[in-house]
Structure 1
Amino acid sequence: MEAKKWNTQVFINERGNDTYVRAVLTTQDGTTIEGTGHARRNPADRAVPEIGDELAAGRAFLDLGHRLVTLAGADIEQAQRLG
């Protein structure tokens, strides 16, 4: 059996104390699904950009996972109707 390959790109933008991440998953057939995440550093905390990147990226992947599960649920419903 041939393994399927899905690609993910992660885009990280920092603006002041805020980090925004967009995770874009592209399936082998070209379907694209996006998840977003955000992190905000408390101004009283020491600036460690990697922490904001990790937190915002983790949130983007959680969002992406939720969207994938929702998409699968819709596909299941459609398949049952066509049954």
Structure 2
Amino acid sequence: MQTLVGWHIDMEFREDGDRTRAAALVRLGDGTEYRGHGAASRHPSDPPQLRVGEEIAGARAMMDLASQLLQKAHKEIDEVSGRTSHPLR
């Protein structure tokens, strides 16, 4: 039997001159929420490309979320197994 599980992710961006900030929120199936943050800065010699700043800042926010979720998973593994798990790097 298959179980369908879904997570909901919201992403917001704030632009301030040459700087883009991203905030990501993931809502897990049990209602737990995690927030991640990322930023990107445009070099003064680069042409203004709003989308690129969003992609970089958004990717960094999702990497922050990924790190938090890996830590959560390893903590749960450690609690059940009674030993320290080792994340792949």
The runs of 4+ residues in structure 1 deviating greater than 3 Å are none
Per the alignment, in what secondary structure is the counterpart of residue 10 of structure 1? strand
Per the alignment, in what secondary structure is the counterpart of residue 52 of structure 1? helix
| Structure 2 residue 8 is the aligned partner of structure 1 residue 14 | no
Per the alignment, in what secondary structure is the counterpart of residue 34 of structure 2? strand
| Structure 2 residue 38 is the aligned partner of structure 1 residue 29 | no
Shift of 1:28: 1.3
Relative to the length of structure 2, the TM-score reads 0.85
Shift of 1:80: 2.6
2:57 aligned residue: 56
Equivalent residue letter for 1:27:
L
Shift of 1:78: 1.7
Q: Say how many residue pairs are matched.
A: 81
1:38 aligned residue: 39
Alignment RMSD? 1.0
Relative to the length of structure 1, the TM-score reads 0.90
Shift of 1:73: 0.9
Per the alignment, in what secondary structure is the counterpart of residue 62 of structure 1? helix
Higher helix share: 1
1:75 aligned residue: 76
Identity of aligned residues (%): 30
